[in-house]
Amino acid sequence: MAAPVLRGARAVRCWSLGVGPRRTRALFAESVSGRGSRRSSAAAREPRPGAHEWAAVVGLEIHTQISSNSKLFSGSQVTFLAPPNSLVSFFDASLPGTLPVLNKRCVEAAVMTGLALNCTVNKKSLFDRKHYFYADLPAGYQITQQRLPIAVNGSLTYNLGGGTHWSPSATKTVRIKQIQLEQDSGKSLHDDTRSQTLIDLNRAGVGLMEVVMEPDMSCGDEAATAVRELQLILRTLGTSQANMAEGQLRVDANISVHHPGEPFGVRTEVKNLNSIRFLAKAIDYEIKRQIEELQNGGKILNETRAFDEKLGCTVSMRDKEGKQDYRFMPEPNLPPLILYDAESLPVAADPQQVVNIDWIRERLPELPSVTRQRLVEQYGILPEHSFALLNEDGLLEFFQNVVKETRTEPKKVIGWILTTFLGYLKQQNLAVSESPISPSLLAELLNLLDRKAISVPAAQQVFEELWHNKGKTPGQIIREKKLELLQNQEELEEICQAVLDKHPQEVTAVKKGNQKVVNKLIGLVRRATQGRADPGRIKQILEKQLQ
Ligand SMILES: Nc1ncnc2c1ncn2[C@@H]1O[C@H](COP(=O)(O)OP(=O)(O)OP(=O)(O)O)[C@@H](O)[C@H]1O
Ligand SMILES: [Mg+2]
Ligand SMILES: [Mg+2]
């Protein structure tokens, strides 16, 4: 049962790609009932179930830069935006006679990432040379792990509903085939005015993890959500900053289409996608293009394509038909990479020289999926809110600090954080760390609201003031602007009566049974008190006066 359910759900998500929801549901029903049931001779003449349907298959290769002060095999520094060619050792420039020296920090990062992604970490892995010729690869080969990578057979779970429409059924898992350690290349900068290419080797030799996923996804939205979850995990671990805009995380998307029940189609590979939005767009475009191509009697070539951001389409770069021969060979200058666990660790081992998998496992931080679950249990907030708290850097800490300092229930605090606070930040494009309001100020404001010293609209007004006038406290603002809630019952009763006296028509309508008009009257009283009266109390008084 699992496969058709998944496929149905996937296709629904992708129906904008030309696979309509009605047809998708039909496919689902057919796949279920068709299984194991004998087909009548009339049915046998009908086209096979799924023959007119298309299913898309997506598999990602993700290159992510390891957070480390130095490169994978040399001591050169790793810094973003350093002057060109200022971070290049003799080894990075491939001078003869130089040898690679493996960076332990990069190995630990790959082990940690592998463990967080439920992989088996190989106690022995191997390095290989992958040859290709490009000006920004001075050695003519890249050191990678082709035969035996550092981690294999993992999984990544993500939720398509994420921060808005979370539901258990939108939880998906993609299998991870392997994680391999490899070197990054340099950068080629094309100078069109002088028609020349300039080479910057600062990035040459920086440590990368290539995370290869199995072809388990089926549209841009799934790929985008999976990559976002991976980014969050990498940042939580501290193994990569995974910032796509700075090139620290780059995605190659492999895409094919086929008729359900038939073997997978020929894949194309869209290289070097550097934003989540473009990743989703490129995949959805490519699925649509391939379906159209096949429907028009064409063929899909096993080719490498690029995404043209301006035109929003993919374009052919080079075909893989004559499969590029990378002439893989074992890297002769690096011995097998041996890792240990508590059991295999030699007694006299120098902790500086060995990597102990168990030691790393014990120090894994709380992973995002566990944090979310804890937040839901601890604070009673909705699962989608737990996603939203993790999606913004520093937001969870801010929320927790507010909760610590206020009597207001976390369930109410979350509303202020996700609607008001985040709304203001977004409007001004600010990070949480740049907020003009501290957690204690917001907590103070919520305490006043909790004590019913002010109304909700007045609290919004105080928030606005706090945001724009640094240095003031909620108490000061309330006094200055006279925003205290009207506590005096007699005064409030007088205001209510005055409103009723001024609006005889509304009074008659209510008396005739039109209860909706009461809301209008409450609004009028609120206006008369400049939002300083509690709506619940106004309602009570009005109802009494209208009897
Ligand atoms: N039929 C298919 N449709 C879509 N994706 C596929 C299909 N078959 C394989 N894939 C995906 O293609 C990717 C293959 O990556 P892998 O690194 O193994 O090889 P490669 O792309 O040939 O090598 P390179 O690292 O040089 O790009 C995987 O992410 C896998 O899930
Ligand atoms: Mg690959
Ligand atoms: Mg590839």
The closest alpha carbon to 157, from 377, 367, 395, belongs to 367
User: How far does residue 271's CA lie from ligand 1's centre (Å)?
Assistant: 11
Strand-pair partners of 57: 256
For the four alpha carbons of 75, 329, 110 and 156, in that order, the dihedral sign comes to positive
Ligand 3 centroid to residue 263 C-alpha, Å: 20
Span 395-404, mean pLDDT? 97
Per-residue model confidence (pLDDT) at position 451: 87
- Residues of the chain with pLDDT > 90, as a percent, come to 71
Confidence tier at 322 by pLDDT (50, 70, 90): low
227: nearest Cα among 204, 250, 207: 250
| pLDDT, position 38 | 38
Q: Evaluate whether 50 touches 34 at the Cβ level (below 8 Å).
A: no
Would you say residue 47 has pLDDT above 80? Answer: no
Distances (CA, A) of 323 to 223, 253, 304, 326: 26, 18, 11, 9
Q: In terms of pLDDT, which residue wins out, 547 or 48?
A: 547
Which candidate, 496, 500, 503, 498, places its Cα nearest to that of 535? 496
Give me ligand 3 centre to Cα 59, in Å: 9
Rounded CA gap, 396 and 448, in Å? Answer: 23
Give residue 484's region: left, alpha or beta (phi > 0; psi -120 to 50): beta
**Mean local confidence (pLDDT), 503-517:** 88
List the residue whose alpha carbon is closest to atom 25 of ligand 1.
61
Mean pLDDT of 98-122: 98
335 C-alpha to center of ligand 2: Å?
22
Under DSSP, is residue 543 helix (H, G, I), strand (E, B) or coil? helix
Q: Can you tell me which atom of ligand 1 is nearest the CA of 266?
A: 1
User: Do 163 and 375 form a contact (C-beta atoms < 8 A)?
Assistant: no
Least reliable range by pLDDT among 61-70, 154-163, 356-365, 435-444: 154-163
Instruction: Name the residue ranges covered by the structural domains of the chain.
Output: 2-45, 55-330, 368-480, 489-545
Ligand 1, atom 16: closest residue by C-alpha: 212
Residue 245 near residue 275 (C-beta atoms within 8 A): yes
Asked if the model's pLDDT at residue 501 lies above 80, the reply is: yes
What pLDDT does residue 11 have?
Answer: 34
Q: Which of 308-312, 435-439, 506-510 has the lowest mean pLDDT?
A: 506-510
Q: For residues 111 and 341, give the distance between their C-alpha atoms in angstroms, rounded to a whole number.
A: 12
Residue 164, pLDDT above cutoff 50: yes
pLDDT band per the 50, 70, 90 thresholds, residue 384: very high
Average pLDDT over residues 342-368: 93
How far is the centre of ligand 3, averaged over its atoms, from the C-alpha of 89 (Å)?
29
Q: For residue 500, what are the CA distances in angstroms to 367, 491, 510, 541?
A: 58, 14, 11, 11
65: CB partners within 8 A, 6+ apart: 78, 184, 206, 207, 208, 240, 241, 247, 248, 249
> In whole angstroms, what is the distance from residue 17 CA to residue 53 CA?
12
Decide if 107 contacts 181 (C-beta within 8 A).
Answer: yes
Nearest CA, atom 26, ligand 1? 326
CA angle 12-16-17, nearest 5°?
100
Is the beta carbon of 287 within 6 A of some atom in ligand 1? Answer: no
pLDDT range class, residue 162, cuts 50, 70, 90: low
In the structure, what pLDDT confidence band is assigned to residue 447 with cuts at 50, 70 and 90? very high
ipTM of the modeled complex: 0.98
Q: Which ligand is nearest to the CA of 323?
A: 1
Mean pLDDT of the chain: 88
Q: How would residue 320 be classed by pLDDT, with cut points 50, 70 and 90? A: low
Distance CA 539, CA 545 (A): 10
Q: Taking 50 as the threshold, does the pLDDT of residue 18 lie above it?
A: no
Mutate to test the pocket of ligand 1, among 54, 61, 174, 217 (most ligand atoms within 8 A of CB): 61
SS (HEC) of 321-345 = CCCCCCCCEECCCCCCEECECCCCC
In the reported structure, the alpha carbon of residue 542 is separated from the centroid of ligand 3 by a whole-number distance in angstroms of: 71
Other C-beta atoms lying within 10 Å of the C-beta of residue 90:
12
Q: Give the pLDDT confidence score for residue 324 in this predicted structure.
A: 78
**Cβ 56 under 6 angstroms from ligand 1:** no
Tokens 């057979």 locate to 153
Task: Give the residue with greater pLDDT, 227 vs 475.
Answer: 227
Asked if CATH classification 1.10.10.410 holds for the domain at 489-545, the reply, yes or no, is: yes
Q: Which ligand 1 atom is nearest residue 59's CA?
A: 31
Rounded to 5 degrees, φ, ψ at 310 are -70, -45
- The atom of ligand 1 lying closest to the CA of 255 is 4
Number of H helices, E strands in the chain: 19, 16
- Mean pLDDT along residues 92-113: 97
How much of the chain, in percent, has pLDDT values that exceed 70? 89
Quick one: which of 492, 491, 495, 465 has its CA closest to 478?
A: 465
- Between these two residues, 224 and 1, which has the higher pLDDT value? 224
Within 8 A by CB and 6+ apart from 84, the residues are 189, 198, 200, 202
What was the pLDDT predicted at 31? 31
Question: How confident is residue 532, by pLDDT bands cut at 50, 70 and 90?
Answer: confident
Burial of 144 (0-12, 13-18, 19+ CB in 10 A): buried
